[in-house]
């Protein structure tokens, strides 16, 4: 291998080293060539890559001082140049092609500069949309069912509120239901309702609205976790409700049913 071939090979390996894509064999080859006095490396490629990155990130994002940023942008001039319009295109308005990578005297370094640009662009694609700065996870979380219920109570002008009464073996339970025809939104607040096993049975709400249908409208299937306390359940009605007369909770098979046989009626709330 003559001196020029050795230098060309070193430049290729040097470019790969800066980009971080050398395998173990290539690293050993680079270490061997870097000890050769004919193979000298400088900071041109590092400066070019950093300058390209500063173009994408901007001074604030890159965290660079103004002096260093200016130096990097000056060095980048050796690798990029604005596109000049042809004489025949003087009267043609074209989208700006901000910069064109030039063929540097050293082919390996020119290719490496191009790869540096592509890697920077790819990093932005991989990151995807970023969460706005200053917002924590808690601040972007959806409000709880209790918070949504309280909001409904405060802003609904046609709010209907009724109390649940437990039936038969569910006599210890109590609760309330709030509903707005205008907003088509409602919530149940249930206390002392026995926890269910979702694999065997689930609770299901039915809304009695004679103007809608002779059969009660499905208000959603729900579970009650174990432990004492009150559970807030959002009403999930697939059909519009215009005049609810009563809300009925039954115990059904997992996933609920289309029409309830009302074999186990848990609680009833009549609209006032």
What is the number of other CB atoms lying within 10 angstroms of the CB of residue 90?
A: 7
Say if residue 199 is in the same domain as residue 226: yes
- Please state the pTM of the whole predicted model: 0.50
Say if residue 58 is in the same domain as residue 154: no
Say if residue 29 is in the same domain as residue 122: yes
Say if residue 205 is in the same domain as residue 170: yes
Say if residue 13 is in the same domain as residue 119: yes
Say if residue 263 is in the same domain as residue 152: yes
Instruction: Give pLDDT tens digits for 120-160.
Output: 555 555 555 555 555 555 556 789 999 999 999 999 999 99
Q: Hunting for tokens 């003087």 — which residue is that?
A: 90
> What radius of gyration do the chain's Cα atoms show?
35
**Residue 55 pLDDT exceeds 70:** no
Instruction: Give pLDDT tens digits for 180-225.
Output: 999 999 999 999 999 999 999 999 999 999 988 788 999 999 999 9
CA distance 181 to 97: 57
Domain encompassing residue 245: 145-270
Domains identified in the chain, total number? 2
- DSSP designation for 164: E
CA distance 251 to 263: 8
Structure tokens at 154: 């405060």
């Amino acid at each position: 291998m003559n001196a020029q071939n050795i230098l060309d090979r070193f430049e290729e390996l040097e470019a790969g080293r800066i980009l971080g894509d050398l395998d173990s064999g290539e690293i050993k080859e680079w270490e061997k060539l870097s000890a050769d006095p004919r193979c000298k490396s400088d900071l041109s490629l590092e400066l070019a890559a950093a300058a390209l990155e500063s173009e994408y990130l901007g001074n604030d994002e890159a965290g660079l001082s103004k002096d260093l940023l200016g130096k990097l942008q000056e060095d980048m001039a050796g690798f990029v140049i604005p596109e000049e319009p042809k004489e025949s295109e003087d009267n043609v308005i074209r989208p700006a092609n901000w910069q064109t990578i030039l063929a540097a005297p050293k082919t390996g370094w020119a290719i490496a500069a191009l790869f540096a640009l592509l890697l920077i662009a790819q990093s932005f694609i991989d990151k995807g949309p970023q969460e706005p700065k200053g917002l924590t996870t808690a601040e972007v979380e959806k409000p709880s069912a209790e918070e949504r219920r309280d909001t409904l109570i405060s802003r609904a002008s046609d709010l209907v509120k009724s109390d649940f009464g437990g039936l038969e073996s569910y006599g210890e339970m109590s609760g309330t239901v709030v509903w707005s025809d205008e907003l088509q939104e409602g919530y149940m607040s249930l206390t002392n309702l026995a926890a269910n096993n979702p694999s065997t049975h689930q609770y299901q709400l039915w809304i009695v609205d004679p103007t809608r249908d002779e059969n009660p409208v499905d208000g959603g299937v729900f579970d009650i976790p174990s432990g004492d306390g009150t559970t807030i359940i959002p009403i999930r009605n697939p059909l519009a409700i215009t005049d609810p007369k009563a809300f009925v909770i039954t115990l059904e098979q997992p996933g609920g049913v289309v029409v309830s046989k009302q074999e186990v009626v848990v609680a009833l709330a009549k609209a006032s």
